[in-house]
Structure 1
Amino acid sequence: MSSLDISAGSSIRRDETVLIVLLLAFAGGYIDAYTWIIHGVMANAQTANLIFLWVYAMAGDWARALHFIPPILAFAVGIVTAAWLRRVAGERASAISTLVEILLLIGVGILHNRLPDLAGTLGISFVAAMQASVFTKVEGAVCSTVMITGNMRQAIEAAFTSATGDAPGGALRRAGILVALCAVFGFGAAVGAFATKNIPDLALGIPVIALLVVLLRCEAGRSEVRA
């Protein structure tokens, strides 16, 4: 069955529901805005970090170029950790990774004024990578909660195939969900920028609340399955 051939009535994993991926997209955009304002790097968009690395390196500004290496490395470690977690925890990986993300964000938030930029960047990029690796689908179809490029491409393709009449069932709904993901990611970035500039010491509390809802929803889903 095509990844687009998904209806609202299908059996859907709790960690792949629209509500959860929208909450994660909000947190993803928020955290990227936070790390850019506070640390001058991107938590999720390693493409941007890599570009800045080589732009400054080619200009001979090695001090600024090397600034972008730690988040890239932390992201890589987060990917490996998430892969290991999926292997050992199975379906519980989503809840465990969300809990780890919450705890690390709380730690970075509490130590905001004491942590060096490097430590804060490493922690946030690490948890961003775990989210990117563990939450990869919405209603059974591939998506991203930490960047919009792929979502935008898929949304446009799905809308085009729907308009031309060649789309499988559920393509228009899929396009709508992906557009919503992009919009919520942008909204999260806007809220993150505002909060980081106005309440920097408390700013990370907002994505933590969103992630707490994700954690509770994941665990509620497990309880319903056991019942």
Structure 2
Amino acid sequence: MVALLLGFAGGYLDAYTWITHGVLANAQTANLVFLWVKATAGKWTEAFHFVPSLFAFVVGVVIASWLRRAVGDRVGPISILVEAGVLILVGVLHNRVPDVAGTLGVSMVAAMQTSIFTKVEGSNYSSVMITGNFRQAIEGAVALVAGDIQVGLLRKSCIFMGVCAAFGTGAAVGAFITERAPALTLTVPVGALLLVLLCCGGFRGVMRDRVDRREQA
């Protein structure tokens, strides 16, 4: 469930940033390609349009790496709280500084999510892009057709296909709401992240850790 919710949020935010800002929050490969295509054509202003998203992604990875070292096993729920807080801040600031808030904030969230949530049931996956997930789903299906009797192979293939479907659903919902109810756009991924926190029991764990530290002090 956590992987599906994160995949949904990943697809949603990609659709939101593409429609609103003309960049992809998650797919930095595409942003880098667009940057160099525009730059080699001498369209420097258009090329620079993709730089903030790349920069914010770097910042998000740095923050995620620091959190992993600072809080250890609690990095998952704490990062979800940070991501939700950033998206709320983006929603508040969007009317005043839409490009800065949307591009920087959402790309940073995407970077944190892809850096911290890297596995589903022990297998590597990504919640912010589907290429690797799609490949693994297809490889699993081919292996099953070929007669591979590896335990859990069907389940693994279905999980990866489910994440791909969740990502696509998120993109569709994100496009629909962004175009029709822009004021409410970011409430949906925030809600998805809070559901992830609820599924993990993360908020209770974070609060319990705070209480324990206060009692020890």
Q: TM-score, normalised on structure 1?
A: 0.87
Residue 127 of structure 2 aligns to a residue in which SS? coil
Partner of residue 139, structure 1: 121
Partner of residue 87, structure 1: 69
What is the CA–CA distance in structure 2 between the aligned matches of 1:133 and 1:28, rounded to whole Å?
13
Deviation at 1:77, TM superposition (A): 1.4
Q: Residue 85 and residue 187 in structure 1: after superposition, are their counterparts in 2 closer, same or farther (change >3 A)?
A: same
Question: Given the alignment of the two structures, is residue 97 of structure 1 paired with residue 85 of structure 2, yes or no?
Answer: no
Residue 145 of structure 1 aligns to a residue in which SS? coil
Partner of residue 60, structure 1: 42
Q: Residue 173 and residue 124 in structure 1: after superposition, are their counterparts in 2 closer, same or farther (change >3 A)?
A: same
Question: Given the alignment of the two structures, is residue 21 of structure 1 paired with residue 8 of structure 2, yes or no?
Answer: no
Return the letter of the residue paired with 1:52.
Answer: F
Q: Mind listing any 5+ residue stretches in structure 2 that lack a counterpart? A: 209-217
Partner of residue 174, structure 2: 192
What is the CA–CA distance in structure 2 between the aligned matches of 1:221 and 1:136, rounded to whole Å?
20
What is the CA–CA distance in structure 1 between the aligned matches of 2:71 and 2:203, rounded to whole Å?
16
Query: Which residue among 142, 147, 155 is the counterpart of 1:165?
Result: 147
Q: Moved runs in structure 1, 4+ residues, more than 3 A?
A: 220-223
Partner of residue 218, structure 1: 200
Contact 2:7 2:167 in 1 (8 A): yes
What is the CA–CA distance in structure 2 between the aligned matches of 1:191 and 1:100, rounded to whole Å?
23
Partner of residue 110, structure 1: 92
Partner of residue 135, structure 2: 153
Return the letter of the residue paired with 1:32.
Answer: D
**What is the identity percentage for the equivalent residue pairs of Structure 1 and Structure 2?**
62
Partner of residue 16, structure 1: none
Q: Mind listing any 5+ residue stretches in structure 1 that lack a counterpart? A: 1-18
Contact 1:34 1:193 in 2 (8 A): yes
Contact 2:94 2:101 in 1 (8 A): no
Partner of residue 9, structure 1: none
What is the CA–CA distance in structure 1 between the aligned matches of 2:86 and 2:32, rounded to whole Å?
24
What is the CA–CA distance in structure 1 between the aligned matches of 2:132 and 2:21, rounded to whole Å?
25
| Greater mean deviation of Cα atoms: 85-94 or 110-119 | 110-119
Question: Given the alignment of the two structures, is residue 33 of structure 1 paired with residue 7 of structure 2, yes or no?
Answer: no
What is the CA–CA distance in structure 2 between the aligned matches of 1:96 and 1:89, rounded to whole Å?
8
Deviation at 1:221, TM superposition (A): 9.3
Q: Residue 167 and residue 70 in structure 1: after superposition, are their counterparts in 2 closer, same or farther (change >3 A)?
A: farther
Q: TM-score, normalised on structure 2?
A: 0.91
Deviation at 1:116, TM superposition (A): 3.8
What is the CA–CA distance in structure 1 between the aligned matches of 2:101 and 2:167, rounded to whole Å?
25
Return the letter of the residue paired with 1:44.
Answer: N
Return the letter of the residue paired with 2:179.
Answer: K
Residue 201 of structure 1 aligns to a residue in which SS? helix
Contact 2:80 2:197 in 1 (8 A): yes
What is the CA–CA distance in structure 2 between the aligned matches of 1:175 and 1:158, rounded to whole Å?
5
